[in-house]
Structure 1
């Protein structure tokens, strides 16, 4: 298993770098159409959270995106340089009290779009796994 990695500047415009990288990677790996959208949205949400919440838009920090394939899974690990967060006690974005809030859906989306989501390092790192991602 070889792990590829890119460093992403802490700036919201960096999301376009991530999107282009995912497009290229998914094309090279022949990621199935049914899986592509889930990968794109979940990974960009994780990077967005790392930029805004993890690194707090501090441009002296970076976000690291590692990715690899393992058996029939496509795996992404997103790490920021922040202090982490309490990922086990997040408000439910589907609760009527939270439904109109502009933020707070990223982790919910990741959990609903990826097959596996694992937080590590006190929430500074998230691993997203997508199983059976190809057309076989």
Structure 2
């Protein structure tokens, strides 16, 4: 199993570092463009959620991004140092009463782009899983 990890302070501009991390993973693991696009959107969205919602943009708190590759399965784990949240009570952004609300789209998007999305540690960690074939 291969594993790489970075840790960034909770500043929105650090999304650039996450993009570089994903670019490096694309090269290292020869990811095709289709899955690369899905990974880029889902992982940057998740890290942004961790920065904004999890750590409340507190630059003293970090977001950790870890990639584990095992038997054609990519697992990205994004962890924040926030209070967590109830991931079982997320509003559906596609229901009519929520269409105009800005929140709730990120996780909805992740679930469409990833093969699996799971939460751990009371919502402080999200695992985005992609199958390579």
Query: For this structure pair, what is the TM-score category when the shorter chain's length is used for normalisation?
Result: over 0.9
Deviation string 1:64-119 (CA, Å, 9 cap, x unpaired) is: 00112110111100000001000010111111221122232111011111101110
Partner Cα distance (2:35, 2:55) in 1: 29
Partner Cα distance (1:116, 1:42) in 2: 11
CA contact (8 A) 2:2 2:70 kept: no
1:30 alignment counterpart: 30
2:100 alignment counterpart: 100
Q: What is the TM-score normalised by the length of structure 1?
A: 0.93
Show structure 1 runs of 5+ residues with no match: none
Show structure 2 runs of 5+ residues with no match: none
Q: What is the TM-score normalised by the length of structure 2?
A: 0.95
SS in 1 for 2:118: strand
Aligned pair count? 133
After superposing on structure 2, the runs of 4+ consecutive aligned residues of structure 1 that deviate more than 6 Å are none
SS in 2 for 1:65: strand
2:70 alignment counterpart: 70
Partner Cα distance (1:91, 1:117) in 2: 16
2:84 alignment counterpart: 84
1:3 alignment counterpart: 3
Partner Cα distance (1:28, 1:108) in 2: 28
1:55 alignment counterpart: 55
Q: How has the CA–CA distance of structure 1 residues 2 and 24 changed in structure 2, closer, same or farther, with 3 Å as cutoff?
A: closer
